[in-house]
Structure 1
Amino acid sequence: MEWEEWLPYVSEERRERVGLTRLPLGSQKHYNKLKVLQGGDWVSKKKRRVKNWMYNILSIVLLLTGIFFLAYEPIINWVVSSGTEAVNLNVSDFRKPESIEAQKEEQKEVSYDFNEVEELDLKTVLMAKLNKDDIVVAGGISIPSVHLNLPIGKGTSKYTLALTAGTMKEDQVMGEGNYALAGHHMNRQDLLFSPLFQVKIGAPVYLTDLNYIYEYQIDEQRRIEATEVEVIDDVAGEKLLTLITCTDKGSARLLTRGHFVKRTPVDQAASEILEAFQLDLNNR
Protein backbone atom coordinates (compact mmCIF):
# COMPACT_ATOMS: atom_id res chain seq x y z
CA MET A 1 0.00 0.00 0.00
CA GLU A 2 1.44 3.41 -0.99
CA TRP A 3 1.82 5.99 1.78
CA GLU A 4 -0.82 8.25 0.20
CA GLU A 5 -3.38 5.43 0.61
CA TRP A 6 -2.13 4.38 4.01
CA LEU A 7 -1.71 7.81 5.64
CA PRO A 8 -5.44 8.59 6.15
CA TYR A 9 -5.65 5.59 8.46
CA VAL A 10 -2.99 7.03 10.77
CA SER A 11 -4.44 9.07 13.64
CA GLU A 12 -3.55 12.74 14.12
CA GLU A 13 -2.10 11.84 17.50
CA ARG A 14 0.37 9.39 15.98
CA ARG A 15 1.32 11.89 13.25
CA GLU A 16 1.98 14.53 15.88
CA ARG A 17 3.94 12.12 18.07
CA VAL A 18 6.51 11.38 15.33
CA GLY A 19 6.62 15.01 14.19
CA LEU A 20 5.06 14.28 10.82
CA THR A 21 2.78 17.32 10.85
CA ARG A 22 5.73 19.74 11.18
CA LEU A 23 7.47 18.55 8.02
CA PRO A 24 6.86 19.87 4.47
CA LEU A 25 4.59 17.53 2.54
CA GLY A 26 6.57 15.54 -0.04
CA SER A 27 9.99 16.33 1.43
CA GLN A 28 12.59 13.62 2.01
CA LYS A 29 12.27 13.99 5.79
CA HIS A 30 8.51 13.71 5.47
CA TYR A 31 8.96 10.54 3.43
CA ASN A 32 11.46 9.10 5.95
CA LYS A 33 9.09 9.75 8.85
CA LEU A 34 6.32 8.00 6.91
CA LYS A 35 8.50 4.92 6.45
CA VAL A 36 9.33 4.87 10.17
CA LEU A 37 5.67 5.25 11.03
CA GLN A 38 4.61 2.60 8.54
CA GLY A 39 7.40 0.24 9.67
CA GLY A 40 6.48 0.66 13.31
CA ASP A 41 2.90 -0.16 12.45
CA TRP A 42 4.03 -3.31 10.64
CA VAL A 43 6.17 -4.34 13.63
CA SER A 44 3.21 -3.73 15.93
CA LYS A 45 1.01 -5.92 13.74
CA LYS A 46 3.67 -8.65 13.71
CA LYS A 47 3.89 -8.57 17.49
CA ARG A 48 0.14 -8.88 17.73
CA ARG A 49 0.17 -11.84 15.36
CA VAL A 50 2.89 -13.58 17.40
CA LYS A 51 1.02 -12.83 20.61
CA ASN A 52 -2.22 -14.20 19.18
CA TRP A 53 -0.40 -17.29 17.88
CA MET A 54 1.15 -17.97 21.30
CA TYR A 55 -2.21 -17.43 22.98
CA ASN A 56 -3.87 -19.91 20.62
CA ILE A 57 -1.15 -22.50 21.20
CA LEU A 58 -1.42 -22.09 24.96
CA SER A 59 -5.21 -22.41 24.77
CA ILE A 60 -4.92 -25.64 22.76
CA VAL A 61 -2.37 -27.08 25.23
CA LEU A 62 -4.59 -26.23 28.21
CA LEU A 63 -7.62 -27.70 26.43
CA LEU A 64 -5.81 -30.95 25.61
CA THR A 65 -4.48 -31.16 29.17
CA GLY A 66 -8.00 -30.72 30.55
CA ILE A 67 -9.37 -33.38 28.20
CA PHE A 68 -6.60 -35.79 29.25
CA PHE A 69 -7.33 -35.37 32.95
CA LEU A 70 -11.07 -35.77 32.35
CA ALA A 71 -10.47 -38.91 30.30
CA TYR A 72 -7.70 -40.35 32.52
CA GLU A 73 -9.87 -42.53 34.74
CA PRO A 74 -12.17 -43.69 31.90
CA ILE A 75 -9.06 -44.74 29.98
CA ILE A 76 -7.76 -46.73 32.95
CA ASN A 77 -11.21 -48.30 33.41
CA TRP A 78 -11.31 -49.30 29.76
CA VAL A 79 -7.84 -50.86 29.85
CA VAL A 80 -8.64 -52.76 33.06
CA SER A 81 -12.00 -53.82 31.64
CA SER A 82 -10.32 -55.48 28.67
CA GLY A 83 -8.13 -57.55 30.97
CA THR A 84 -10.49 -60.53 30.90
CA GLU A 85 -9.28 -61.57 27.48
CA ALA A 86 -5.68 -60.94 28.53
CA VAL A 87 -5.74 -63.51 31.34
CA ASN A 88 -8.08 -65.81 29.41
CA LEU A 89 -10.38 -67.36 32.01
CA ASN A 90 -13.84 -68.24 30.75
CA VAL A 91 -16.45 -70.96 30.89
CA SER A 92 -14.79 -72.99 28.16
CA ASP A 93 -11.86 -73.51 30.53
CA PHE A 94 -14.08 -75.44 32.94
CA ARG A 95 -13.55 -78.52 30.79
CA LYS A 96 -9.83 -77.80 30.43
CA PRO A 97 -8.20 -78.07 33.87
CA GLU A 98 -4.92 -78.79 32.15
CA SER A 99 -4.77 -75.08 31.24
CA ILE A 100 -3.97 -74.25 34.86
CA GLU A 101 -1.76 -77.31 35.36
CA ALA A 102 0.28 -76.26 32.34
CA GLN A 103 0.89 -72.86 33.91
CA LYS A 104 2.01 -74.49 37.16
CA GLU A 105 4.53 -76.57 35.26
CA GLU A 106 6.01 -73.44 33.72
CA GLN A 107 7.08 -72.41 37.24
CA LYS A 108 6.73 -68.70 36.55
CA GLU A 109 8.12 -66.36 39.16
CA VAL A 110 5.33 -65.13 41.44
CA SER A 111 5.68 -62.22 43.86
CA TYR A 112 3.99 -61.98 47.27
CA ASP A 113 5.67 -58.73 48.27
CA PHE A 114 2.86 -56.50 49.61
CA ASN A 115 5.19 -53.50 49.31
CA GLU A 116 4.82 -53.72 45.54
CA VAL A 117 1.11 -52.98 45.76
CA GLU A 118 0.41 -49.43 44.58
CA GLU A 119 -2.55 -47.42 43.40
CA LEU A 120 -3.39 -48.25 39.80
CA ASP A 121 -2.23 -45.82 37.16
CA LEU A 122 -2.37 -45.86 33.38
CA LYS A 123 1.21 -47.04 32.96
CA THR A 124 0.67 -50.02 35.28
CA VAL A 125 -2.50 -51.26 33.59
CA LEU A 126 -0.99 -50.85 30.13
CA MET A 127 2.14 -52.75 31.18
CA ALA A 128 -0.06 -55.41 32.80
CA LYS A 129 -1.71 -56.08 29.45
CA LEU A 130 1.65 -56.17 27.70
CA ASN A 131 2.97 -58.61 30.34
CA LYS A 132 -0.22 -60.70 30.56
CA ASP A 133 1.73 -63.89 29.95
CA ASP A 134 3.48 -63.37 33.29
CA ILE A 135 0.18 -63.67 35.18
CA VAL A 136 -0.35 -67.21 36.49
CA VAL A 137 -4.08 -67.90 36.51
CA ALA A 138 -5.20 -69.97 39.52
CA GLY A 139 -8.95 -69.97 38.85
CA GLY A 140 -11.87 -67.61 39.27
CA ILE A 141 -14.10 -65.94 41.87
CA SER A 142 -17.75 -64.99 41.51
CA ILE A 143 -20.20 -63.23 43.84
CA PRO A 144 -23.44 -63.20 41.84
CA SER A 145 -25.33 -60.88 44.21
CA VAL A 146 -23.03 -57.96 43.34
CA HIS A 147 -22.03 -59.15 39.84
CA LEU A 148 -18.41 -59.67 40.81
CA ASN A 149 -16.65 -62.14 38.55
CA LEU A 150 -12.86 -62.15 38.21
CA PRO A 151 -9.98 -64.39 37.29
CA ILE A 152 -7.73 -65.30 40.23
CA GLY A 153 -4.03 -64.69 39.63
CA LYS A 154 -1.24 -66.07 41.78
CA GLY A 155 0.59 -63.47 43.84
CA THR A 156 0.25 -59.76 44.49
CA SER A 157 2.48 -58.21 41.84
CA LYS A 158 1.25 -54.90 40.47
CA TYR A 159 0.50 -56.47 37.09
CA THR A 160 -1.44 -59.39 38.60
CA LEU A 161 -3.59 -57.06 40.72
CA ALA A 162 -4.21 -54.76 37.76
CA LEU A 163 -6.27 -57.45 36.02
CA THR A 164 -7.20 -60.11 38.59
CA ALA A 165 -7.83 -60.93 42.24
CA GLY A 166 -4.43 -61.97 43.60
CA THR A 167 -3.64 -64.78 46.03
CA MET A 168 -1.93 -63.45 49.18
CA LYS A 169 -0.10 -66.61 50.31
CA GLU A 170 2.09 -68.94 48.31
CA ASP A 171 0.69 -72.34 49.29
CA GLN A 172 -2.98 -71.55 49.94
CA VAL A 173 -5.53 -74.02 48.62
CA MET A 174 -9.21 -73.43 47.85
CA GLY A 175 -11.48 -75.01 50.43
CA GLU A 176 -8.69 -75.30 52.99
CA GLY A 177 -7.21 -73.02 55.66
CA ASN A 178 -7.70 -69.29 55.12
CA TYR A 179 -7.85 -68.64 51.38
CA ALA A 180 -6.94 -64.95 51.04
CA LEU A 181 -7.38 -62.74 47.98
CA ALA A 182 -6.50 -59.09 47.37
CA GLY A 183 -7.98 -56.79 44.76
CA HIS A 184 -8.05 -53.12 43.86
CA HIS A 185 -10.91 -50.76 44.67
CA MET A 186 -11.65 -48.34 41.82
CA ASN A 187 -13.89 -45.32 41.40
CA ARG A 188 -16.01 -47.26 38.92
CA GLN A 189 -17.98 -49.47 41.28
CA ASP A 190 -18.25 -52.50 38.97
CA LEU A 191 -14.52 -53.09 38.44
CA LEU A 192 -12.15 -55.48 40.24
CA PHE A 193 -12.98 -55.65 44.00
CA SER A 194 -15.10 -52.47 44.09
CA PRO A 195 -18.39 -54.49 44.27
CA LEU A 196 -17.35 -55.80 47.71
CA PHE A 197 -18.69 -52.57 49.21
CA GLN A 198 -22.21 -53.66 48.21
CA VAL A 199 -21.97 -57.27 49.43
CA LYS A 200 -24.43 -58.39 52.15
CA ILE A 201 -23.91 -60.80 55.02
CA GLY A 202 -25.08 -64.25 53.98
CA ALA A 203 -24.24 -63.79 50.29
CA PRO A 204 -22.75 -66.86 48.57
CA VAL A 205 -19.29 -66.70 47.02
CA TYR A 206 -17.99 -69.20 44.49
CA LEU A 207 -14.38 -70.06 43.70
CA THR A 208 -13.21 -72.42 41.02
CA ASP A 209 -9.90 -74.02 40.15
CA LEU A 210 -11.52 -75.34 36.95
CA ASN A 211 -11.85 -78.77 38.56
CA TYR A 212 -14.22 -77.96 41.43
CA ILE A 213 -16.59 -75.22 42.54
CA TYR A 214 -15.95 -74.09 46.13
CA GLU A 215 -18.85 -72.37 47.85
CA TYR A 216 -18.43 -69.95 50.75
CA GLN A 217 -20.91 -67.75 52.61
CA ILE A 218 -20.12 -64.20 53.73
CA ASP A 219 -20.46 -63.75 57.50
CA GLU A 220 -18.21 -60.79 58.31
CA GLN A 221 -17.29 -57.41 56.86
CA ARG A 222 -15.33 -54.62 58.57
CA ARG A 223 -12.65 -52.01 58.08
CA ILE A 224 -9.15 -52.81 59.27
CA GLU A 225 -5.79 -51.04 59.32
CA ALA A 226 -3.40 -51.67 56.45
CA THR A 227 -0.93 -53.11 58.95
CA GLU A 228 -3.28 -55.89 60.16
CA VAL A 229 -1.76 -58.52 57.89
CA GLU A 230 -2.45 -61.27 60.43
CA VAL A 231 -6.05 -61.45 59.15
CA ILE A 232 -4.83 -63.69 56.31
CA ASP A 233 -3.27 -66.23 58.67
CA ASP A 234 -4.88 -69.65 58.99
CA VAL A 235 -7.24 -70.19 61.92
CA ALA A 236 -7.11 -73.61 63.56
CA GLY A 237 -10.14 -75.74 62.76
CA GLU A 238 -11.68 -73.22 60.31
CA LYS A 239 -11.93 -73.01 56.54
CA LEU A 240 -12.19 -69.36 55.57
CA LEU A 241 -12.23 -67.04 52.59
CA THR A 242 -10.73 -63.59 53.22
CA LEU A 243 -11.08 -60.82 50.64
CA ILE A 244 -9.09 -57.60 51.07
CA THR A 245 -9.42 -54.29 49.22
CA CYS A 246 -8.66 -50.63 49.87
CA THR A 247 -11.22 -48.24 51.32
CA ASP A 248 -12.24 -45.07 49.50
CA LYS A 249 -9.37 -43.05 50.96
CA GLY A 250 -6.85 -45.87 50.57
CA SER A 251 -5.43 -45.56 54.09
CA ALA A 252 -7.43 -48.49 55.49
CA ARG A 253 -8.67 -51.82 54.16
CA LEU A 254 -12.08 -53.44 53.78
CA LEU A 255 -12.09 -57.03 55.01
CA THR A 256 -14.83 -59.34 53.72
CA ARG A 257 -14.79 -62.85 55.15
CA GLY A 258 -16.80 -66.00 54.66
CA HIS A 259 -16.80 -69.61 55.81
CA PHE A 260 -16.52 -72.67 53.62
CA VAL A 261 -19.77 -74.46 52.74
CA LYS A 262 -19.01 -77.22 50.25
CA ARG A 263 -16.99 -78.39 47.27
CA THR A 264 -18.67 -79.64 44.09
CA PRO A 265 -17.05 -81.14 40.97
CA VAL A 266 -17.61 -78.86 38.01
CA ASP A 267 -19.50 -81.50 36.05
CA GLN A 268 -21.93 -81.89 38.98
CA ALA A 269 -22.42 -78.20 39.75
CA ALA A 270 -25.88 -76.66 39.42
CA SER A 271 -26.47 -74.62 36.29
CA GLU A 272 -26.98 -71.38 38.23
CA ILE A 273 -23.52 -71.79 39.79
CA LEU A 274 -21.88 -72.34 36.42
CA GLU A 275 -23.79 -69.35 35.09
CA ALA A 276 -22.28 -67.23 37.86
CA PHE A 277 -18.96 -67.52 36.06
CA GLN A 278 -20.54 -66.45 32.80
CA LEU A 279 -21.34 -62.95 34.09
CA ASP A 280 -19.49 -60.04 32.55
CA LEU A 281 -16.12 -60.12 34.25
CA ASN A 282 -15.28 -57.17 36.51
CA ASN A 283 -12.23 -56.26 34.47
CA ARG A 284 -14.23 -56.04 31.21
Structure 2
Amino acid sequence: MKKLLAVILILVGAFIMMIPTLKDNKVEQTVQETVKIVEAITPEVIEENEANEEAQFDYSVVEDITVTGTLLGNIKANPKLLVGQLVIPSVGMNISIFKGINNTNLLAGAATMRANQKMGEGNYPLAGHYSKNKDILFGSLMDVQVGDPIRITNKKTIYEYIVYEVKVVPDDALYIIDDKVAALYGKPVISLMTCYYSSKTGKRYFVLGELTKTYPYSEEVLFND
Protein backbone atom coordinates (compact mmCIF):
# COMPACT_ATOMS: atom_id res chain seq x y z
CA MET A 1 0.00 0.00 0.00
CA LYS A 2 2.83 2.42 0.87
CA LYS A 3 4.55 1.66 -2.43
CA LEU A 4 1.32 2.33 -4.34
CA LEU A 5 0.83 5.62 -2.51
CA ALA A 6 4.42 6.61 -3.27
CA VAL A 7 3.92 5.85 -6.98
CA ILE A 8 0.71 7.90 -7.03
CA LEU A 9 2.40 10.84 -5.34
CA ILE A 10 5.28 10.69 -7.82
CA LEU A 11 2.87 10.62 -10.77
CA VAL A 12 0.83 13.51 -9.37
CA GLY A 13 3.99 15.51 -8.76
CA ALA A 14 5.25 14.81 -12.28
CA PHE A 15 1.90 15.92 -13.74
CA ILE A 16 1.93 19.15 -11.74
CA MET A 17 5.44 19.89 -12.98
CA MET A 18 4.30 19.28 -16.57
CA ILE A 19 1.31 21.64 -16.37
CA PRO A 20 3.21 24.80 -17.44
CA THR A 21 4.64 22.95 -20.45
CA LEU A 22 1.23 21.55 -21.39
CA LYS A 23 -0.29 25.04 -21.08
CA ASP A 24 2.39 26.56 -23.31
CA ASN A 25 2.03 23.76 -25.85
CA LYS A 26 -1.73 24.36 -26.06
CA VAL A 27 -1.28 28.08 -26.65
CA GLU A 28 1.51 27.53 -29.18
CA GLN A 29 -0.64 25.04 -31.08
CA THR A 30 -3.52 27.52 -31.20
CA VAL A 31 -1.23 30.30 -32.43
CA GLN A 32 0.21 28.09 -35.17
CA GLU A 33 -3.26 27.01 -36.28
CA THR A 34 -4.45 30.60 -36.65
CA VAL A 35 -1.28 31.60 -38.52
CA LYS A 36 -1.98 28.81 -41.03
CA ILE A 37 -5.51 30.15 -41.46
CA VAL A 38 -4.43 33.76 -42.00
CA GLU A 39 -1.74 32.65 -44.46
CA ALA A 40 -4.37 30.78 -46.47
CA ILE A 41 -7.22 33.30 -46.57
CA THR A 42 -7.59 35.93 -49.27
CA PRO A 43 -7.31 39.72 -48.93
CA GLU A 44 -11.01 39.90 -49.73
CA VAL A 45 -11.89 37.75 -46.70
CA ILE A 46 -9.70 39.91 -44.47
CA GLU A 47 -11.48 42.99 -45.80
CA GLU A 48 -14.84 41.44 -44.88
CA ASN A 49 -13.50 40.55 -41.43
CA GLU A 50 -12.41 44.14 -40.84
CA ALA A 51 -16.06 45.16 -41.13
CA ASN A 52 -17.18 42.47 -38.66
CA GLU A 53 -19.26 44.11 -35.93
CA GLU A 54 -18.98 41.10 -33.59
CA ALA A 55 -15.63 42.39 -32.31
CA GLN A 56 -15.59 43.57 -28.70
CA PHE A 57 -13.23 45.97 -26.96
CA ASP A 58 -13.82 45.26 -23.28
CA TYR A 59 -10.46 45.43 -21.49
CA SER A 60 -12.06 44.43 -18.17
CA VAL A 61 -12.57 40.81 -19.27
CA VAL A 62 -8.92 40.19 -20.11
CA GLU A 63 -7.00 37.81 -17.83
CA ASP A 64 -3.41 36.58 -17.71
CA ILE A 65 -2.65 33.23 -19.36
CA THR A 66 -3.91 30.60 -16.91
CA VAL A 67 -4.10 26.82 -16.75
CA THR A 68 -7.89 26.87 -16.54
CA GLY A 69 -8.14 29.27 -19.46
CA THR A 70 -5.95 27.13 -21.70
CA LEU A 71 -6.08 23.45 -20.77
CA LEU A 72 -9.66 23.52 -19.49
CA GLY A 73 -11.08 26.37 -21.54
CA ASN A 74 -12.10 26.72 -25.18
CA ILE A 75 -9.56 28.88 -26.98
CA LYS A 76 -10.74 28.17 -30.51
CA ALA A 77 -10.45 31.55 -32.18
CA ASN A 78 -13.11 33.01 -34.45
CA PRO A 79 -11.67 33.09 -38.02
CA LYS A 80 -14.16 35.84 -38.90
CA LEU A 81 -12.15 38.18 -36.66
CA LEU A 82 -8.80 37.55 -38.40
CA VAL A 83 -7.63 40.81 -39.96
CA GLY A 84 -3.93 40.32 -40.58
CA GLN A 85 -0.52 39.02 -39.62
CA LEU A 86 2.28 40.45 -37.46
CA VAL A 87 5.93 39.54 -38.06
CA ILE A 88 9.01 40.75 -36.14
CA PRO A 89 11.99 38.98 -37.75
CA SER A 90 14.55 39.97 -35.09
CA VAL A 91 12.76 37.90 -32.42
CA GLY A 92 11.14 35.28 -34.67
CA MET A 93 7.61 36.51 -33.97
CA ASN A 94 4.89 35.44 -36.41
CA ILE A 95 1.33 35.69 -35.14
CA SER A 96 -2.14 36.51 -36.40
CA ILE A 97 -3.94 39.78 -35.78
CA PHE A 98 -7.53 39.62 -34.53
CA LYS A 99 -10.11 42.36 -34.41
CA GLY A 100 -11.15 43.10 -30.84
CA ILE A 101 -10.03 42.51 -27.27
CA ASN A 102 -11.11 39.30 -25.57
CA ASN A 103 -9.40 36.35 -23.92
CA THR A 104 -9.86 34.04 -26.91
CA ASN A 105 -8.23 36.47 -29.35
CA LEU A 106 -5.34 37.14 -26.97
CA LEU A 107 -4.66 33.42 -26.52
CA ALA A 108 -4.44 32.99 -30.30
CA GLY A 109 -2.56 36.08 -31.45
CA ALA A 110 -2.42 39.86 -31.18
CA ALA A 111 -5.59 41.94 -30.84
CA THR A 112 -6.54 45.36 -32.18
CA MET A 113 -7.35 47.84 -29.42
CA ARG A 114 -9.72 50.27 -31.15
CA ALA A 115 -12.74 49.64 -33.34
CA ASN A 116 -11.82 51.62 -36.44
CA GLN A 117 -8.03 51.45 -36.61
CA LYS A 118 -6.47 50.89 -40.04
CA MET A 119 -3.05 49.59 -41.02
CA GLY A 120 -0.71 52.31 -42.16
CA GLU A 121 -2.91 55.11 -40.80
CA GLY A 122 -2.67 57.04 -37.55
CA ASN A 123 -1.75 54.86 -34.59
CA TYR A 124 -2.21 51.10 -35.01
CA PRO A 125 -2.20 49.63 -31.47
CA LEU A 126 -2.02 45.89 -30.83
CA ALA A 127 -2.24 44.07 -27.51
CA GLY A 128 -0.69 40.68 -26.78
CA HIS A 129 -0.21 38.39 -23.81
CA TYR A 130 3.16 38.31 -22.09
CA SER A 131 4.57 34.80 -21.56
CA LYS A 132 7.73 33.60 -19.86
CA ASN A 133 8.10 31.36 -22.89
CA LYS A 134 9.54 33.71 -25.49
CA ASP A 135 8.26 31.56 -28.35
CA ILE A 136 4.63 32.29 -27.40
CA LEU A 137 2.57 35.37 -28.28
CA PHE A 138 4.29 38.58 -27.02
CA GLY A 139 6.75 36.67 -24.84
CA SER A 140 9.68 38.05 -26.84
CA LEU A 141 8.38 41.62 -27.16
CA MET A 142 10.77 42.89 -24.47
CA ASP A 143 13.69 41.67 -26.61
CA VAL A 144 12.70 43.95 -29.50
CA GLN A 145 15.15 46.84 -29.81
CA VAL A 146 15.14 50.32 -31.28
CA GLY A 147 15.86 50.03 -35.00
CA ASP A 148 14.17 46.62 -35.42
CA PRO A 149 11.58 46.28 -38.21
CA ILE A 150 7.96 45.38 -37.43
CA ARG A 151 5.77 44.22 -40.31
CA ILE A 152 2.01 43.87 -40.47
CA THR A 153 -0.07 42.86 -43.46
CA ASN A 154 -3.65 42.53 -44.62
CA LYS A 155 -2.48 40.24 -47.46
CA LYS A 156 -2.68 43.15 -49.91
CA THR A 157 0.02 45.39 -48.51
CA ILE A 158 2.92 44.96 -46.09
CA TYR A 159 3.41 47.90 -43.74
CA GLU A 160 6.93 48.13 -42.34
CA TYR A 161 7.55 50.08 -39.15
CA ILE A 162 10.89 50.72 -37.49
CA VAL A 163 11.03 50.75 -33.69
CA TYR A 164 11.87 54.20 -32.34
CA GLU A 165 11.08 53.74 -28.63
CA VAL A 166 10.33 51.16 -25.94
CA LYS A 167 8.80 52.23 -22.66
CA VAL A 168 7.02 51.10 -19.48
CA VAL A 169 3.90 53.01 -18.50
CA PRO A 170 1.09 52.73 -15.90
CA ASP A 171 -1.79 50.53 -17.02
CA ASP A 172 -4.12 53.54 -17.18
CA ALA A 173 -1.92 55.40 -19.71
CA LEU A 174 -4.35 54.72 -22.56
CA TYR A 175 -3.29 57.85 -24.43
CA ILE A 176 -0.57 55.69 -26.03
CA ILE A 177 -3.14 53.84 -28.14
CA ASP A 178 -4.73 57.06 -29.39
CA ASP A 179 -4.21 58.54 -32.86
CA LYS A 180 -2.83 61.67 -31.19
CA VAL A 181 0.46 59.80 -30.74
CA ALA A 182 0.85 59.60 -34.51
CA ALA A 183 -0.20 63.21 -34.96
CA LEU A 184 2.40 64.39 -32.44
CA TYR A 185 5.10 62.18 -33.94
CA GLY A 186 4.28 63.37 -37.45
CA LYS A 187 4.02 59.90 -39.00
CA PRO A 188 1.78 56.82 -38.79
CA VAL A 189 2.93 54.62 -35.92
CA ILE A 190 2.36 51.18 -34.44
CA SER A 191 2.03 50.56 -30.69
CA LEU A 192 2.60 47.01 -29.45
CA MET A 193 1.52 46.48 -25.84
CA THR A 194 1.94 43.66 -23.34
CA CYS A 195 1.82 43.32 -19.57
CA TYR A 196 5.06 44.21 -17.82
CA TYR A 197 5.76 40.60 -16.73
CA SER A 198 2.28 40.36 -15.15
CA SER A 199 -0.93 42.37 -15.10
CA LYS A 200 -0.49 42.50 -11.32
CA THR A 201 2.42 44.93 -11.69
CA GLY A 202 0.01 47.64 -12.82
CA LYS A 203 2.36 48.48 -15.69
CA ARG A 204 2.36 47.95 -19.42
CA TYR A 205 5.30 47.54 -21.80
CA PHE A 206 5.11 49.32 -25.16
CA VAL A 207 7.15 48.99 -28.34
CA LEU A 208 6.55 51.96 -30.64
CA GLY A 209 7.44 52.06 -34.32
CA GLU A 210 7.17 54.57 -37.16
CA LEU A 211 5.91 53.65 -40.62
CA THR A 212 8.81 53.77 -43.07
CA LYS A 213 7.84 51.62 -46.08
CA THR A 214 4.98 49.77 -47.73
CA TYR A 215 5.24 46.84 -50.15
CA PRO A 216 2.85 44.73 -52.20
CA TYR A 217 2.25 41.52 -50.24
CA SER A 218 4.71 38.66 -50.59
CA GLU A 219 5.89 36.06 -48.10
CA GLU A 220 9.51 36.74 -49.01
CA VAL A 221 9.27 40.40 -48.05
CA LEU A 222 7.21 39.65 -44.93
CA PHE A 223 9.87 37.38 -43.45
CA ASN A 224 12.96 39.08 -44.84
CA ASP A 225 15.62 39.68 -42.18
Map 1:101-140 → 2, pairs under 5 A: 101-104=47-50, 107=52, 109-126=54-71, 127-129=73-75, 131-133=76-78, 136-140=81-85
Tell me which residue corresponds to 1:190. Answer: 135
Tell me which residue corresponds to 2:149. Answer: 204
Matching residue's letter, 1:65 = V
Tell me which residue corresponds to 2:99. Answer: 154
Instruction: Provide closer, same or farther for how the CA distance between residues 74 and 116 of structure 1 changes in structure 2, counting only shifts above 3 A.
Output: same
Is 1:71 the equivalent of 2:22? no
Is 1:245 the equivalent of 2:194? yes
Structure 2 residues not aligned, in runs of 5+: none
2:6 maps to which of 56, 59, 69: 59
Instruction: Give the whole-Å Cα distance in 2 for the aligned partners of 1:128 and 1:218.
Output: 34
Is 1:100 the equivalent of 2:51? no
Partner of 2:212, secondary structure, is strand
Counting aligned pairs with the same residue, the percent is 31
| Structure showing greater Rg | 1
Structure 1 residues not aligned, in runs of 5+: 1-52, 280-284
Instruction: Give the whole-Å Cα distance in 1 for the aligned partners of 2:137 and 2:192.
Output: 12
Q: Does the 8 Å CA contact 1:89/1:139 hold for their aligned counterparts? A: no
Partner of 2:78, secondary structure, is helix
Which of the pair is proportionally richer in helix?
A: 1
Matching residue's letter, 1:246 = C
Map 1:161-172 → 2, pairs under 5 A: 161-172=106-117
Instruction: Give the whole-Å Cα distance in 2 for the aligned partners of 1:199 and 1:104.
Output: 28
TM-score normalised by L of structure 2: 0.86
Is 1:274 the equivalent of 2:225? no
Which of the pair is proportionally richer in strand?
A: 2
Aligned Cα root-mean-square deviation (Å):
2.3
Q: Does the 8 Å CA contact 1:108/1:136 hold for their aligned counterparts? A: no
1:234 maps to which of 179, 195, 199: 179
Instruction: Provide closer, same or farther for how the CA distance between residues 272 and 134 of structure 1 changes in structure 2, counting only shifts above 3 A.
Output: closer
